[in-house]
Amino acid sequence: MLSQDITNRLATQFGTKFEISSFQSLGGGSINQAARIESKQGDFFIKWNSAAKFPEMFQKESDSLKILAKTDTIRIPKVIMANEEGEESFLFLEYIEQGNKSSNFWQDFAYALAQLHRNTQSQYGLTFDNYIGSLPQSNQMYAQWNDFFVEERLHPQIKMARDSSLLDKSIILQFEKLFNRLDSIFPVEKPALLHGDLWSGNFMVDKHGNACIFDPAIYFGNRIMDIGMTQMFGGFAPEFYQLYNEAFPMENNWKEQLDIANLYPNLVHLNLFGYSYLSGIKVALSRFS
């Protein structure tokens, strides 16, 4: 249940007594507590966690959702507020009713993601750091993608895994060999605005049959990072990739790039969940190092 501090803050937000008529705890997340709230003011989604354990997590997520929403490409949950109250922080969003996929669902989703990726800036990175799952994600700016990928994505996760004895010296040497080959693997592309954690658990179908994406880890990067993430755990139809490629053509070797792009989420999962993700890392490195 919500703390009194959060309940009081919601009352202040709405300028009246916030009366909860229904409170339904929601599962599916491994980090935060979450619930659907029905009230006189409407239906909402709220998630909350320790403010000390995850500093500014929900403020950064709120800012990220607003940046995605400004592109007017894919449906994003509307942010009502993000705040810290007492020992907890929380994010308060509109509640989106789940529906069934429309007949053109994958086409519309693929085209919308392509339009999102056409949003660009001069450098790779972001003006603020955020989180990937429960891990901090640094987004310092770089002029070149490969430099950003190595310094801001791979190196921090490799160091964390090495310090936890999850990677040995032989694997780290393979990474170093790979770094010297990145110029021949990734094409030069403009930085694209990415969702950053686009697996099947971070999109849903709204009541109109359209895609809605959430739980972002945004930054401006190589768009193969989003495409690769969609293949991590399944859930995206094969035609999605063909349709995306029609809307925003990728390089001929885009499928080869996927294994390297997914070294980042595999390292993240290795650090979060342990050795079961090591085999995928070894296979990718053996192909390119």
DSSP character for 262?
Answer: T
For residue 224 the two structure tokens come to 């193969």
Q: Positive or negative, the Cα torsion across 129, 130, 131, 136?
A: positive
CA distance 77 to 213: 8
**Catalytic residue (choose from 108, 183, 197, 215):** 197
Count, residues in the chain? 289
Answer yes or no: 197 catalytic. yes
Q: Which residues contact 71 (CB under 8 A, 6 or more apart)?
A: 115, 116, 119, 193
Joined together, the tokens standing for residue 205 give: 């179908």
Number of H helices, E strands in the chain: 12, 11
Would you state the structure tokens that stand for residue 13, as one six-digit string? 């937000």
- Backbone torsions φ then ψ of 85, nearest 5 degrees: -135, 120
H or E segment and range at residue 26: strand 20-26
Residues serving a catalytic function are 197
